[in-house]
C-alpha cells in the first residue's frame, strides 16, 4: 500500500466512525451548532451597534447627500462677497469679483462631477441642454483668462458687470441662487 492509499483508507475509516456517532448524536450536534451560531450572530450585532459601524456609514451617506446645502451656503456666501466687490467701484475689486465668480463656477462644476485638468476641459463637457448659457460662460471665462494672463489688459466696468450677470444666471440655473 502506498502513501495516498493509506491516507484515503484512514479518511474513510474516520468517516465510518463518525457516521455511526452522527446517527446517534446528530440532532444534539445540530442543536448545539445552531445555538453557537445564534450566540455569535448576537455578539456580531452587539459589536456593530456598539462600534457605530452602520451608523457611521449611514451618516456618511446622509452627509454626502446634504453637501448640496453646504455648497449652496458656501456659494451664497461667495456670491455676497462677489457682489460687494463689484459694487465697490474699485477697478481691482471688480476684476477680483470676476475672477472669484469664475472660481466659484469652476468649484461647482467639479462638485457636480465634471473632470478635467482645467476649467476649459470641464466646460467642454457641458452642452447647452445641460446649462443654457454655456456659450456665454465660455466668453466670460475667456475674458477672465485675458484679465489674469495679460497684465496690460483693460476691461470696462460694464463688461465685468455683464460677465457677473452671466455667472449669476448660471448659478440660478444650478439652484445655487434664488
Write a three-state SS string for 58-76. Answer: HHHHHHHHHHHHHHHHHHH
- Sorted by sequence, the CB contacts under 8 Å of residue 154 that are 6+ apart come out as none
pLDDT of residue 65: 45
Under DSSP, the state recorded for 156 is -
Give the residue among 90, 119, 89 at the shortest CA–CA distance from 104: 119
Domain ranges of the chain: 1-51, 67-173
> Residue 168 and residue 100: Cα distance in Å, rounded?
12
Best CATH choice for the domain 67-173 from the list 2.40.50, 1.20.1330, 1.20.120, 1.10.4160: 1.20.120
Question: Is residue 112's pLDDT more than 90?
Answer: no
> Which residue has 454626502 as its cell numbers?
64
Q: What is the pLDDT of residues 23-78, one digit of tens each?
A: 777 778 788 889 999 999 998 888 877 877 776 666 655 554 454 555 667 777 88
pLDDT of residue 99: 92
> Residue 100 and residue 106: Cα distance in Å, rounded?
10
pLDDT of residue 27: 79
- Sorted by sequence, the CB contacts under 8 Å of residue 96 that are 6+ apart come out as 85
Helices (H), 51-156: 53-87, 91-112, 119-123, 134-149
User: What is the average pLDDT score of the chain?
Assistant: 82
Amino acid at each position: 500500500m502506498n502513501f495516498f492509499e493509506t491516507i484515503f483508507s484512514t479518511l474513510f475509516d474516520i468517516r465510518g466512525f463518525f457516521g455511526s456517532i452522527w446517527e446517534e448524536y446528530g440532532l444534539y450536534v445540530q442543536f448545539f451548532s445552531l445555538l453557537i451560531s445564534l450566540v455569535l450572530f448576537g455578539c456580531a450585532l452587539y459589536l456593530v451597534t456598539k462600534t457605530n459601524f452602520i451608523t457611521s456609514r449611514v451618516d456618511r451617506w446622509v452627509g454626502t447627500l446634504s453637501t448640496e446645502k453646504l455648497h449652496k451656503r458656501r456659494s451664497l456666501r461667495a456670491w455676497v462677497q462677489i457682489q460687494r466687490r463689484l459694487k465697490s467701484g474699485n477697478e481691482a475689486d471688480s476684476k477680483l469679483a470676476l475672477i472669484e465668480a469664475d472660481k466659484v463656477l469652476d468649484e461647482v462644476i467639479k462638485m457636480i462631477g465634471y473632470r478635467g485638468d482645467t476649467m476649459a476641459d470641464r466646460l467642454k463637457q457641458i452642452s447647452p441642454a445641460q446649462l443654457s448659457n454655456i456659450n456665454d460662460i465660455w466668453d466670460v471665462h475667456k475674458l477672465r483668462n485675458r484679465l489674469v494672463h495679460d497684465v496690460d489688459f483693460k476691461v470696462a466696468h460694464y463688461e465685468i458687470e455683464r460677465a457677473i450677470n452671466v455667472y449669476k444666471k448660471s448659478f440660478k440655473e444650478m439652484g445655487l441662487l434664488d
